């Protein structure tokens, strides 16, 4: 057994040597000098590191070349003296080939250097595919910014995007990608954002390639309470992490041999999670009676121990689960054990923050197909970069996508390439869009025959080929039932059965058998209704005449959603005995259906400002939607002048009552519950915007329309003003302005153009109410509208003056600031600058995580009190234990 283990370790050591050789050869490295002029050599060797840099020109199709001011070039060495800037488009992206499923170090460098002579450093966002990575603010970081992450790509393509967020122009100087060891830097979830990477030596230079085979950048660090020890011997570093050998030849020990060796780091965000990697090697010659042994204690709790560093070989100790730090301060202590004769030592350590990239990329087969189509036809649309579907605000022109949730890859359902100058034949890549429902290739210059594969795409419902120069016979497969085919304006196209005479004016392919079947079905249905009327006329109830048509619906589940008679409504409410609310529609009464299910019965009064149109709109909507955060419709009554909506009963009333304390609601909703309610209400709106077909806009989002069930779960209500809005190129619909003053989108009010961002504005006002518990409009305030009042308070920079006093300061200030910034972003007067509800949901959930982390720590319920740790030893010594 021992011999086998030695052979295995020898093999591991040999593989490690091979891997080091590959790393030393820069295999898989991507080193881009962004904006390198075409007249300068590419590739070139950077003299300090020996890294081979190349121009970024083949990795991005947009942007312009720039160079920092000549008087500043001495401050920055090549490749940071050139840059690429992006005056056009909102999102500009690099496309890189990487190894799927392998950890990669991704590092970007941004240097302004007053390249444009304006002396206005830009601020912009950096995205990794569809997910935000970092905000680059070169006004604060005057010497440049260098964000870095360790990330495992989910496909063989990696998109790194610069996103314009204001008036300034994004730029980039250097982009570097390094494949890492396949078993290194693994996390439970998320990626790792660089925080610290240090080795312990006095006045030593920073290290990177070739000292570090993965080109990690290490800085030297030393405290005055420490003493440096060192060795001239070679130190083995062959494990999954392979820190530089030179970094292991020095170490820090406490000058007071009985004191712990302490490292402290902190963050303003107390909810942040960290992964720690500590590297140890014994570099002193120990006498026979000397022992070095110590425990690792993180925030007062045993992290790992005892540690006995092996002589001239590396040991790496790391957390398998992420750790959080109390009050944003992390304290790592190395404390010698009772049997140790020597103080603890530390050679090097790394700290990373967890960063989540929750939004799934679009299905990789769909992405490959649409990019193949883009290449085939030479399409150069400015926003056809990075992920086609997400984020929603960057969805490619001409596309629509099916987006279920952030964890499910979106699918492309609509592709509109009308009037796009397409030439040649219909590309075979279209058939790889297997969920495509609508394809518009009209008004181009396409030639050749209509391919058979279009008819075999079972998901396709609409195909528009009109206005091209296609020829030949239309395939029989395109005459299937349920498919709408437009092909006018192709004079050389021939229908099956008409081989000598092309059809010129037909728009839809005739489906004779289907038409005949439909005619027979209609005839049978008419006869059925006639006979049914005769049979039931003897018991028919005649109601007073009405100027409006009666409503009738057929339900898939008639026991849950059905039409009630007025006597049934009277019975279920016990003659309207218990009134539980009143609004513009009329009174709301408590009732029961079948003596079991509690319901709320909303009665339309004759004096109501809302009428039959709003009543029908609400019934129409609630019969076809279902979401846990939308109040569900049990049924309705439409009998003469008696109109009623029967909802599920939501016992805790509306959110406004709880904030104001009216209606007997005296319990103060804490900050965490408010965030959860806000996130749930946002999820309901998100469903209306992207989960419905067609999408819906609520049009009357306010705190009185957010109801709370027995568990304080939020349910959005009152859909009488809801309207559908178009998808595709137009994102708004013109309509008569309606809504509630104070919550009403000012842009919609002035233009009558209604869109989903109108709901986002109203939700922003709701969120400000939840944060501050201030009236939306208060004429007694100097700043009467809540947004104006918040802006005036923000000038002081004290969030406590904005937060609801009823909370008594019991909230996570960082999550409060983040929620406030989100609310003001939603309430931006310009709709284009507001986020989508999907983005709002993500932000609120992250705020909630931060608040819950604070509450858990304050209760002493830190779930990470006993973190798993992993020890990684030199491969020549012993296998790794987890």
Report the C-alpha gap between 773 and 771 in whole angstroms. 6
CA 307 to chain CA centroid, Å, is 41
Strand spans (E) along 42-146: 44-45, 52-55, 64-67, 82-85, 91-97, 104-109, 123-128, 131-137
Give residues with Cβ within 8 angstroms of 698, minimum separation 6: 685, 688, 705, 716, 719, 721, 722, 759, 762
The response to whether 353 counts as a known ligand-binding position is no
d(CA 502, CA 487): 12
Comparing C-alpha atoms, which of 834, 770, 777, 825 is closest to residue 802? 770
Render 648-677 in DSSP notation, one character per residue: E--TT-BHHHHHHT-TT--PPPPHHHHHHH
For 600, the enclosing helix (H) or strand (E) is: strand 597-603
DSSP character at residue 437: -
| CA dist., res. 826 & res. 845, Å (int) | 16
Contact 597, 634 (CB under 8 A): yes
Peptide bond into 43 cis (omega under 30): yes
DSSP assignment letter at 810 = -
Which run of H or E residues covers position 847? helix 837-858
Give CA separation, 481 vs 456, 485, 520, in Å: 12, 11, 16
Active site residues: 700
Q: Identify the CA nearest to 408 among candidates 154, 578, 203.
A: 154
Q: Are 352 and 193 in contact (CB under 8 A)?
A: yes
Angle at the Cα of 34 from the Cα atoms of 29 and 38, rounded to 5 degrees = 105
Burial bucket for residue 291 (CB in 10 Å: 0-12, 13-18, 19+) = middle
Contact 54/82 with Cβ under 8 angstroms?
Answer: no
Quick one: tokens of 734? 């013109």
Q: In Å, what is the CA distance from 862 to each residue of 192, 299, 696, 856?
A: 21, 12, 42, 6
Q: Is the peptide bond before 728 cis (omega within 30 degrees of 0)?
A: no
Structure token digits, residue 718:
């009152």
Stated as kind and residue range, the H or E segment containing 685 is: helix 671-686
Question: Beta strands 329-336 and 261-266: pairing type?
Answer: antiparallel
Residues 850, 672: Cα–Cα separation, whole Å: 9
Run of H or E residues at 413 = strand 411-416
| Closest by CA position to 762, among listed 714, 819, 834, 816 | 834
Structure tokens at 822: 């989100």
Shortest CA distance to 569 belongs to which of 586, 590, 555?
590
First to last CA, the chain: 21
Phi, psi of 174 (to 5 degrees): -140, 140
The alpha carbon of 836 is separated from its chain's Cα centroid by a whole number of angstroms, namely 11
Helices (H), 484-609: 512-536, 566-572
DSSP β-bridge partners for residue 881: 871
The answer to whether 825 and 842 are in contact (CB under 8 A) is no
Annotated binding site for ATP: 602
Residue positions forming the annotated binding site: 602
């Amino acid at each position: 057994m021992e011999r086998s283990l030695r052979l295995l370790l020898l093999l591991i050591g040999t593989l490690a040597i091979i891997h080091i050789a590959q790393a030393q050869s820069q295999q898989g490295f991507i080193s881009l000098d962004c904006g390198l002029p075409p007249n300068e050599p590419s590739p070139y060797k950077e003299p300090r590191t020996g890294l081979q840099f190349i121009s970024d020109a083949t990795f991005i199709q947009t942007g312009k070349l720039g160079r920092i001011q000549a008087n500043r070039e001495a401050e920055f060495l090549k490749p940071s003296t050139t840059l690429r800037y992006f005056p056009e488009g909102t999102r500009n992206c690099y496309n890189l080939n990487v190894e799927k499923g392998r950890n990669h170090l991704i590092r970007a460098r941004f240097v302004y250097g007053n390249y444009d002579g304006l002396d206005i450093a830009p601020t912009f966002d950096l995205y990794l595919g569809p997910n935000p990575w970092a905000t680059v603010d070169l006004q604060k970081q005057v010497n440049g910014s260098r964000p870095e992450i360790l990330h495992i790509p989910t496909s063989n393509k990696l998109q790194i995007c610069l996103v314009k967020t204001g008036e300034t122009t994004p730029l980039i100087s250097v982009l570097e990608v390094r494949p890492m060891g396949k078993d290194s830097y693994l996390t439970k979830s998320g990626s790792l954002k660089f925080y610290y990477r240090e080795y312990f030596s006095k006045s030593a230079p920073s290290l990177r390639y070739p000292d570090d085979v993965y080109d990690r950048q290490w800085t030297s660090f030393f405290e005055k309470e420490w003493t440096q020890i060192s060795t001239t011997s070679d130190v083995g570093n062959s494990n999954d992490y392979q820190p530089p050998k030179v970094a292991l030849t020095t170490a820090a020990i406490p000058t007071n041999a009985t004191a712990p060796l302490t490292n402290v780091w902190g963050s303003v965000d107390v909810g942040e999670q960290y992964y720690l990697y500590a590297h140890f090697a014994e570099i002193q010659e120990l006498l026979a009676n000397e022992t070095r042994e110590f425990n690792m204690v993180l925030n007062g709790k045993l992290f790992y121990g005892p540690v006995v560093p092996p002589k001239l070989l590396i040991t790496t100790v790391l957390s398998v689960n992420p750790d959080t730090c109390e009050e944003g301060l992390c304290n790592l202590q190395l404390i010698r054990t009772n049997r140790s004769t020597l103080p603890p030592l530390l050679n090097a350590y790394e700290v990373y923050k967890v960063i989540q990239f929750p939004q799934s990329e679009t299905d990789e087969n769909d992405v490959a197909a649409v990019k193949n189509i883009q290449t085939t036809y030479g399409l150069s649309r400015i926003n056809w970069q990075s992920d086609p579907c997400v984020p929603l605000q960057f969805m490619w022109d001409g596309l629509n996508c099916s987006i279920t949730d952030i964890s499910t890859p979106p699918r492309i359902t609509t592709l509109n390439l009308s009037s796009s100058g397409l030439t040649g034949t219909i590309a075979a890549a279209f058939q790889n869009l297997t969920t495509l429902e609508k394809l518009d290739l009209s008004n181009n210059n396409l030639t050749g025959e209509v391919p058979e594969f279009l008819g075999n795409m079972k998901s396709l419902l609409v195909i528009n080929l009109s206005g091209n120069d296609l020829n030949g016979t239309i395939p029989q497969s395109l005459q299937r039932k349920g498919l709408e085919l437009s092909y006018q304006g192709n004079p050389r196209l021939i229908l099956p059965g008409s081989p000598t005479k092309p059809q010129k004016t037909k728009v839809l392919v005739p489906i004779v058998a289907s038409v005949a079947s439909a005619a027979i079905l209609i005839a049978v249905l008419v006869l059925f209704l006639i006979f049914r009327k005769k049979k039931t006329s003897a018991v028919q109830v005649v109601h007073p005449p009405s100027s409006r048509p009666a409503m009738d619906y057929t339900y898939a589940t008639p026991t849950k959603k059905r039409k009630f008679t007025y006597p049934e409504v009277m019975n279920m409410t016990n003659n309207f005995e218990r009134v539980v609310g009143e609004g513009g529609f009329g009174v709301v009464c408590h009732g029961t259906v079948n003596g079991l299910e509690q319901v709320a019965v909303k009665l339309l009064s004759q004096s109501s400002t809302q009428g039959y149109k709003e009543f029908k709109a609400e019934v129409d909507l609630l019969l076809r939607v279902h979401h846990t955060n939308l109040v569900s419709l049990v049924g309705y009554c439409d009998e003469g002048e008696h109109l009623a909506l029967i909802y599920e009963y939501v016992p805790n009333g509306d959110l406004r009552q709880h904030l104001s304390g009216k209606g007997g609601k005296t319990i103060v909703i804490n900050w965490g519950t408010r965030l959860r309610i806000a996130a749930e209400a946002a999820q309901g709106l998100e469903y209306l915007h992207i989960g419905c077909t067609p999408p819906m806009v609520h049009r009357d989002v306010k705190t009185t329309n957010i109801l709370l069930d027995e568990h304080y779960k939020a349910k959005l209500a009152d859909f009488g003003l809801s309207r559908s809005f178009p998808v595709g190129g137009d994102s708004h619909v013109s309509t008569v302005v309606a809504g509630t003053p104070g919550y009403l989108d000012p842009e919609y009010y002035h233009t009558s153009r209604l869109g989903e961002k109108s709901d986002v504005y109203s939700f922003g006002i709701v969120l400000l109410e939840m944060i501050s518990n201030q009236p939306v409009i208060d004429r007694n305030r100097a700043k009467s509208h809540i947004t104006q009042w918040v802006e005036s308070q923000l000038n002081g920079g004290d969030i406590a003056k904005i937060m609801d006093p009823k909370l008594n300061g019991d909230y996570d200030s960082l999550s409060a600031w983040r929620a406030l910034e989100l609310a003001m972003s939603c309430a931006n007067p310009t709709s284009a600058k507001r986020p989508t509800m999907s983005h709002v949901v993500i932000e609120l959930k992250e705020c909630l995580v931060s608040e819950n982390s604070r509450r858990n720590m304050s209760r002493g319920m830190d779930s990470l009190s006993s973190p798993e740790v992993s020890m990684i030893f030199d491969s020549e010594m012993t296998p790794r234990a987890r």
